[in-house]
Amino acid sequence: MEAKNFEKLFSNCPFPVTWHHFQTETSPPFVVWKEEESDNVISDEKVLAQIDHFRVEFYYESWIQKKQFEQFLMSLNVTWQRVVSDVWITNEDMYLASYEIGDGFGYESGNAINRG
């Protein structure tokens, strides 16, 4: 999946979304996404397809906000995995949950698979 497809996927998110970090201080809840590792398809000593994986970090103040974000993820009709949950960030007075989304989690050739 390319970053432009990822941005389109999250264009209707009910919370503020940005790549890597916000330029100004933002109060929770909000979403930050980052590129993670790639799992490329290689043959004959050549990369045939680049498969990027993304980490989505959701910063929130209440369990209800986290569940609202996960309902948004469910509405995307793609698979996702929560990999970290309910980490309390003391100096920021907020929680963090992290999710993985990538080609191996419901994407083919940069397009979302229609499951509905």
C-alpha closest to that of 41 among 31, 52, 32: 52
Instruction: Supply the pTM of this predicted model.
Output: 0.78
More confident of the two residues 41 and 15: 15
43-83 pLDDT, tens digit per residue, is 899 988 877 778 999 999 999 999 999 999 999 877 789 99
Helix (H, G, I), strand (E, B) or coil at 22: coil
C-alpha–C-alpha distance, residues 110 and 116, integer Å? 18
Locate 15 and state its tokens.
């919370």
The answer to whether the CB of 43 falls within 8 A of the CB of 70 is no
| Domains delineated in the chain | 3-108 (3.30.70)
